[in-house]
Chain A
Amino acid sequence: MMVIDEQVLADILGLMSQLAGDWEYSGAIGPETRLLGDLGMESLDLVVLGTMIQHRYGRLPFAEYLAEIGQRPVEERDVTVGELVAYVCHHRGRTMAGGPR
């Protein structure tokens, strides 16, 4: 089961809205929202977002994560907000020692 840390969720949504610039999304954004399919992000946007998340939470194995996503079949090549938050929560524990840089 995916556990959503509300604080991390709020942080990531904040980062996403920074990244989105003037792009809008008229629906409600929640854990089920897909970054590519719904929000129209591109793979480079994931890199930028990953970089921003690392700035906040410290180093995470993002390259591997994105590579894994990139290898999925085209129709599954996406990530939801919830998955991203879960990923961050899961890996933060292991890399928190260094703390935010």
Chain B
Amino acid sequence: MSDRNGAGNATVLGENHEIRHDGIAIIGMSCLFPGAPNVDAYWRNILAKVNAITDPPPEAWDTDVYYDPDFIDKDKVYCKKGGYLGNLASFDPLPHGIPPFSVGGEPDQWLALQLARDAMADAGCTDLPEEIRQRTAVILGKGTYLNGGNALAVEHGLIIGQTLEIIKRLNPEFTGAQLELLRQEMKEVLPPIGPETVPGLIPNIIVGRIANRLDLMGPTYTVDAACASSLVAVHQAMRDLRNGECDLALVGGAQVWMPVPALNVFCQLGALSRRQQIRPFDKDADGTILGEGVGMVVLKRLTDAERDGDRIYAVIKGAGVASDGRGVSVMAPRVEGEVLALQRAYEAAGISPRSVGLIEAHGTATPVGDVVEVQALTRVFGQRDGELPTCAVGTVKSMISHTIPAAGVAGLIKTALALYHKVLPPTLNCDEPNPKLELEKTPFYINTETRPWIHGESTPRRAGVNAFGFGGINAHVILEEYSNHESVSPPARPSSGNHGTSPVLNHLPPWDSEVCILEGATRGDLVEQADRLVRFLDSAIPSENSAEPAFSLTDLAASLNQGLSQGNNTCRLALVATSLKDLRQKLDRAMKRLSDPGCRRIKDVSGIYFNAEPLGRDGRLAFLFPGEGSQYPNMLADLCIHFPEVRECFDRCDRIFAGHARGYGLSDIVFPRPAFSDDQRQWAESRLMRMDSAVEAVLTGNLAMVTLLQRLGLRPDVLVGHSTGEYSAMIAAGILDLDTEERLTSFSRSLNRYYQDSVAHDGVPRAMLLAIGAEREQVAAIAQEAGGEIFLAMDNCPHQAILVGTREAAERALEIVRREGLIYEQLTFDRAYHTQLFAPYADHLHRILADIPIRQPHLPIYSCTTAAAYPTDPSEIRSLIVEHWARPVEFRRTIESLYKQGVRIFVEAGPRGNLSTFVEDILRGQPFCAVPANVQRRSGVAQLNHLVGMLAAHGVNLDLSYLFERRDPQRVDWGATPGTVKRVRSGEKIVLHTGWPLLKLPDDINQRLQRERNGQPSPLAPLPILGEGNQLSDSAPHFQTLGEGQGVRAAPSAMEAYFQTMDQFLSAQEQIMQAYFGGLGDPLPEPGGDEPWWEHSVTVSGNGHDTGAAPVEDTVTWDAQAGDYARPGNGANHGHSDNEPAHETPVSTVGHDRLSDGREEAVVRSITEPVPNSNGALESRAHITRQLLGLVSERTGYPVEMLDPRLDLEGDLGIDSIKRVEILGSYRQQVGNVDGLNLEELTTQRTLEQIIDLLVAGSGEQAPTPDPRGGAQSVRTRSPLPILGEGHGVRAAIPNTNAPNYDFPLLGDVTSWTPGEELITKRTFDITEDLYLRHHTLGPSAGTDDDELPALAVMPLTMSLEILAEAASALVPDRIVVGLRDVLAYRWIAWDDKPQTLRITARYRTRSGSNDHVVVEIRNLTEDAETGESLKSPVIEATVVLSGGYSEPPGSRLPHPEGGQPSRWQAGRLYPDVMFHGPSWQGVTAIDRTGTQGIVATLRTLPVDGFFRSMSDPHFVLDPVVLDAAGQVIGFWTMEHLASGKVIFPFRVAALDLYGPSRAAGEDLTCVAAIELLGDQLVRSDIDVMTTDGQLWMRLTGWEDKRFELPAGFISLIQASRDVEISSSWPEPIAGIPYRERLQCRRLTATFPSDQGFWKRVWAQRVLSRRERDQFRQLHTPERRQIEWLAARTAAKEAVQQLAKARYGLDLLHSDIEIYPDEHGRPLVGGAWTGALDTVPLISVAHSRGVAVAFASLEDRERCPRVGIDIEYLRPRPAGFDEVAFTISEREVIASLPADSREEWLLRCWCAKEAVAKALGTGLIEGPRSVAVVAVDLAGERVAIRLAGELARRHPDLSTASIVARTVRQGDLIAATTLWETADEWPPVLTD
């Protein structure tokens, strides 16, 4: 093989010395690859050798179905590992102006769009001028074989159809409806495909979208050259750039979603790895692994990029493309084709392959492919020349897998970064290179480690990238580093030619740690700074699982260090931290230590430094340079990567020996190539110890470190070198003038030549070196005793002296050393330095030095030969340099003299740090600071940070900006008020579908089919197959199943979309009705206001009763709940009545609203005067705007608040003309065919504003008139609530370092503690741990057992009191809690299903008499995180009183209730009948007496051992159970004595006093309460609890409960019984129907006077299934809509419950019945139980102004195929309504009705139309004209309806029938229902 492919026919190309100037610069990059969301992460992963190849995420494809490791089934896949993007494939459409509903189809297009923007931003091209945009190309590699989106379309369109055909043939008995159901179920698991998403299936749309969104007009197209696609794209772009066709090019490749069939094809070919590991070039390589990714680069002609000052990652010098021609087969790689591509590239570039140091190989890890690739490379590069290979080879496929069309750009980006950062990146999984590669004959080696790219050659660093495509298309690209001769300084920032403002980032790898320095004038200041920083960090890092803070540790460190003073009067604390969390912990530790005045310094190994007496002020500073022995393999490697000036030192050393006969450079041995054998390893190791290399390594290392220290601004007062290190000291002192590279080269080469000559003549004196752990005197004595040629050569420190001598003498000395029991070590090198043995060799140095100018030192330098300052006379200096090699190193004496001279700070400027330990030993016990710049066991940057920290803490001035100048830190304003870290507002990222969804049916359908196939009868019998209701839960509802596995990822967004659709469906109707039936609904937005319209209060009428009587028109405020329950009496909700005359006097009320976003605001609500006519135009404009924006939002998915009417529809919002026609069409349908509305003209407008202008102009009289009464409008002002919390004063340092010693079950972890001052703790409460919460839920669980679907749990107020008491006790540990004052609870702490994290802060306030007062507050961090900012008030706060003992109890002041009588509540039935509390909280045993002003009850203390899952016997400070029982007593009283508002919850306690310790469990206590009603919303009680002997034990004064007026049905929600019936039966609408036992109609009025947001949660937890709960939580609609959603569902569930009970005897829980919408929003009924029925109930729901109704049918489908219901309130209709809602012929029908009932019939007809449209499942798709009233039966209250327009076309079979809708009027409520009866049996004529 080698004969054929080796040097024999190698074609080595030479360097073309004509320098080509047509290089193409890479100026921007972006990428998304497995495990790497961006270029930073990609590069970080590469350097850290991260293997991002994984098992498929569950949503990618189902391994149970498609994975067969044995590949017996050839349709499956034997390799499941891959490079999967998973959740990284997500996209936020809003910033791109993409309507959210359009996001679908091929996922590549969205990611490519994002990455195109990212790459342009990276290039600084965010805002290009038009002339450049016109000349910008977009060329992307993208495969057109089976892509994900197309696969999906096939599934939707063909596979489902085929599957149904098969099913139909197998089951001919299936009805059309059953097949339709199957079809729907199958479609449900697939991501939707519709008009919005279809364009995205066309492959070229990927570049079309980029061109469109970025407005680029150069050539834009995709390229498919399989795996070579992206490099072929680069090739194309280079050509276009070079020939001037374009000026800028965005180039890359994309492969997102690897469908199973594609994987299968590769398995069929045997190309995937059987061992499921990609091992490029390894001997065990057995195939490739496929993956997903996108990468982009921005290219520009180099000359242009230089002109524009762009940052240039690398320069593309040439590219070559060639095909394989006719080889063995079309699939087999061919050497000749690859060679040709390479040759073409090098010829085009005029570059010799020999100058290339790095090859990013194609390296697919197929054995044949790897061998052929190396053969091709070798033919072009030639065989190995010399001992060492010269070119590193690797492939990023080993980390991210093979991303096919994106593979080339993955390699290109990696290689550009390698050149930019001068790093040789590693490749993975090559443990032993494949011997068939015969690498030893080639110039190549496999680089498996991250290594600095040291380069001493005259040509720039160069690299090649291979990409060889399946089918025989080969591409090679040659890159070169860009050097602008300023490479040491930070790279140029884009300037003149740049077109954007975004910062250009360097993509530097992150540091493993940062140093953060705080300072203050005094120690107190310092503690204050630390405290501020702690608070800032706590606010910025809210909880463990919340989002990343907006800044990094690097940002914070840079910001902190930037502000340091250079003055001397400061006190500094330096912390070396690895993360923000680590910093937080170290701050804690430091503050604890600083609080101890006895602490004079902190010098913590982990990196905490502080000095009360800093030495840097007066002490002098010495640099110490180590000698041989300090070098070690890979020393300073990471510093080379982070600091170019360090790497430059090594580059320079390599340059000195470039082309040198010895054949290697220093870097070859300091940064050895990864060794695959011991021989290779030993070669580098032994070289490093050899004298010549050792000297070079030490001097280079020292030079690198001193360069770094100088850049840090360190200025030494004196220099010292140890042995060889004296050269470094002399260079630094300017004695040896080696400033020019020539002189340095000459000196270094002379030293080396001299060494080589001496070696050749055996002239280097050899010796044995012994390091002995003893003082010099003892060691010298040993030498003397040993006799012969052995000498003390170095006196390093008291525990180390070095003996150097002949082997014989040394052996004798060793005997003595052993005898003495001394610790010793034989050193690994053998030069007889510093003894007279070395004198002959040293003498020759004179000759070398003669050529070097010797100058006077410009910095003081000490000699270790004399332990004194260097002489100044050059000849004396020369002598000393030579003498130094023959005399001992007196390091100890030198350090001692320096110390005497006032040197206190010793900085070791070299590798390893030996000298610093010597100094520690020498100066032990005295004040000094010795710090090495580098140690072997820490990374280079970590030690640098420690050095900076130690020196800064000693007051040494440093230029810390140097640490950050290349790393683009963002400024963090940590001094600002905590919590001001702003989050950038953007939309939710949509996770894209990159999986292969499994087409499947729900389990219960399978079972049903199974039964039928087995010939068993279908369960047609009405009575239950399943029997008991509680067995239902054994089989999960089938929706649950759907939500698992395959469907999981699809479910949330798909379901949300469905809900939106459903919500729109309902709200669209309402909008029409509100607009035309009085327009009383939505108020108009304030002109110029920027609030979304729904944020305004909406005043609607509600019906508080379920009777059929005329509704009592209470005005309820729907979206703004009246009054926070903590701030009673402010409700603004009883102001006026809705149907009062329009000229009502203006009313203003003020109330506090708890807004849905949690902000505390006051609302000034006013009822305005009727809008004068002159304002009509303005109002109609506002109305039109609102309506149009609502429509746009509905049709595109943009949130309304984003829709600024001035935005460009196409340009900013991506709303194309088709979409515009659709939107405007619906607008026209909503408002009717208004004259002057020219659709064509409208759709050509650019902005919504222009459209609105036209609409306003055209609307004239037609425009909907505003609410004649004016709308209720809201003006928000800030609440005057006291602001508590964050701004505390300075905290005094408390000298106490113990941790708080406490054992309180509710406090959790201490986050901050200042003994006696302040305690902050954090605890996460969860119903799985805090079991007492399970017994404090509002109602029983919604499931069949308690653990399933728990109801809403709320924290008992008294448990909150216990938390407060515990915190106070912990803060003041030696006192007892005797009471609480001013308890105020602001909000509920409640658990839907997730944990809540509370932060408890206790602050000592004052001592009053013998009492200590501690203020405690609880914040709910979970709530804060949800609302995005800290709420202004805590959830609860109080003052806790502590004392040395309890006070003497006074006598009870409370008389027993006057006129007391026995209670109607029976002992033993108290809780089941009245309360919701579970056993843990059932502390009331009897109500003894009750009266109008008080109550007497018996309480019992209860055990608390079951309160926590993980703590058996908690100790509480209070007795929260008895306290709660005392409070419950008031509840028993209200339930008995009050007719309304009897549900109460406590929120305020003026005082709690305790007169004794907690009582043992099981003791009876007497509770007496005096109760008084305050207004109609509050109950105030004074409560005494006494022992049975009448002694007062506890007193509650001013215990205040808030009363809740729950609508009648809702009280049962919170009671213990599971039987809840919230809605009421409403038989009237179906009264006339013969089979109405199979029908149910129910209605529900849900109006909560206050705390709607809370009751909503209570309600949801009681009626929804788990899946519905999740859906409910995802609803982002206004609260009013959420309530309607719940109400409609509840009514529907209860209707179904009734039917199932009556027909089948089934007892269903609410949660058993799942209501879910189909794709049009029509509600369907589901649940496991439906499988047992012969027919599934049909339902329809409607709501209007707070009333929700549901209509359900269990009737045979033949008889009742569809149901529909609609309701509306009767009210005056505006002018023009009739014309809009009805056609002329409809109006003729109505006009013939009697005048007195025409108004009412108009509405009946309208409802009838709605009901029919809803029954059809689609709604009024074309507005009012979708269906037509054809006749009215006045006596029968029926309306006949016919389908029209599009509906008629869609349903030709229904288009001729008249559908009957039955109508009814109850009070002002009109309802229409339809059972889809046809009107054949009654004449379709008007009846009087």
Contact = CB atoms under 8 A, between A and B. Distances in A.
B823 A26 contact: no
A59 B921 contact: no
Interface string A65-101: 0110010001000000000000000000000000000
Contacts of B1351: none
B799 interface: yes
Interface in A42-58: 42-45, 47-48, 50-51, 54
Interface in A22-37: 22-27, 36-37
B918 to A, nearest CB: 7
Nearest to B602: A24
B797 A25 contact: no
A38 B605 CA distance: 8
B937 A26 contact: no
A21 B913 CA distance: 18
A3 B910 CA distance: 41
A60 B603 CA distance: 32
A44 B917 contact: yes
A60 B773 CA distance: 14
A37 B1129 CA distance: 65
B605 A50 contact: no
Interface string B761-782: 0000000000001000000000
A39 B605 contact: yes
A22 B917 CA distance: 14
Contact of B608 (A26, A38, A54): A26
A24 B589 CA distance: 12
Given A37-B937, A63-B823, A24 B605 contact: yes
B799 A63 contact: no
A74 B936 contact: yes
Contact of A66 (B601, B825, B918): B825
B799 A59 contact: no
B688 to A, nearest CB: 14
Interface residues of B, number: 32
Interface residues of A, number: 29
Contact of A44 (B601, B799, B826): B799
A51 B605 contact: no
B822 A63 contact: yes
A58 to B, nearest CB: 8
A63 B604 contact: no
Contacts of B920: 21, 44-45
Nearest to B924: A21
A27 B585 CA distance: 12
Contacts of B914: 42, 44
A48 B937 contact: no
A47 B925 CA distance: 18
A40 interface: yes
Interface in B808-867: 817-818, 821-826
Contact of B925 (A21, A26, A50, A51): A21
Nearest to B599: A24
Contacts of B817: 63
B799 A22 contact: no
B823 A51 contact: yes
B458 interface: no
A63 B817 CA distance: 10
A8 B925 CA distance: 25
B940 to A, nearest CB: 15
Contacts of B824: 63
Contacts of A23: 603-605
A47 to B, nearest CB: 4
A90 B601 CA distance: 38
A26 B606 contact: yes
Interface in B919-946: 920-921, 924-925, 935-937
A44 B799 CA distance: 8
B800 A26 contact: no
Contact of A54 (B605, B821, B937): B821
Nearest to A101: B821
A70 B603 contact: no
Contact of A50 (B773, B918, B935): B773
Contacts, number: 72
A66 B605 contact: no
A47 B602 contact: no
A67 B825 contact: yes
B913 A42 contact: yes
A74 B602 CA distance: 29
Contacts of B818: 63
Contact of A45 (B606, B822, B917): B917
B202 to A, nearest CB: 55
Contacts of B603: 22-24
A76 B711 CA distance: 34
Nearest to A70: B825
A64 B136 CA distance: 71
A44 B1219 CA distance: 78
B605 A25 contact: yes
A26 B589 contact: yes
Contacts of A43: 917
B332 to A, nearest CB: 43
B918 A44 contact: yes
B823 A47 contact: yes
Nearest to A21: B924
Contact of B773 (A27, A37, A51, A74): A51
A50 B823 CA distance: 8
A75 to B, nearest CB: 9
A24 B604 contact: yes
Nearest to A25: B605
Of the listed residues B605, B821, B823, B921, the one surrounded by the most CB atoms of chain A closer than 10 A to its CB is: B823
B799 A47 contact: yes
Contacts of A22: 601, 603
B825 A63 contact: yes
A21 B800 CA distance: 19
B585 to A, nearest CB: 9
Contact of A48 (B606, B822, B921): B921
A44 B825 CA distance: 11
Nearest to B819: A59
Contacts of A40: 605
Nearest to A51: B773
Of the listed residues B589, B914, B916, B917, the one surrounded by the most CB atoms of chain A closer than 10 A to its CB is: B917
Contacts of A45: 917, 920
A82 B800 CA distance: 26
A73 B623 CA distance: 31
A101 to B, nearest CB: 9
Nearest to A50: B823
A62 B823 contact: yes
A44 B629 CA distance: 14
B937 A47 contact: no
A24 B593 CA distance: 11
Contacts of A24: 602-605, 608
A62 B935 CA distance: 24
A43 B937 CA distance: 12
Contacts of A74: 936
A81 B606 CA distance: 18
B583 to A, nearest CB: 14
Given A23-B603, A54-B821, A47 B589 contact: no
Contacts of B604: 23-26
Given A42-B916, A42-B935, A60-B821, 11 more contacts: A21-B924, A21-B925, A40-B605, A42-B913, A43-B917, A44-B917, A44-B921, A63-B822, A63-B824, A66-B825, A70-B825
27 contacts: A21-B920, A22-B601, A22-B603, A23-B603, A24-B602, A24-B603, A24-B605, A24-B608, A25-B604, A25-B605, A26-B589, A26-B608, A39-B605, A42-B914, A44-B797, A44-B799, A44-B914, A44-B920, A47-B800, A48-B773, A48-B921, A51-B799, A54-B821, A63-B822, A63-B823, A63-B825, A66-B825
Interface of B: 589, 601-606, 608, 773, 797, 799-800, 817-818, 821-826, 913-914, 916-918, 920-921, 924-925, 935-937
User: Which 7 residue pairs are nearest across A and B when measured between Cβ atoms?
Assistant: A59-B821, A47-B773, A40-B605, A44-B917, A42-B917, A24-B604, A62-B823
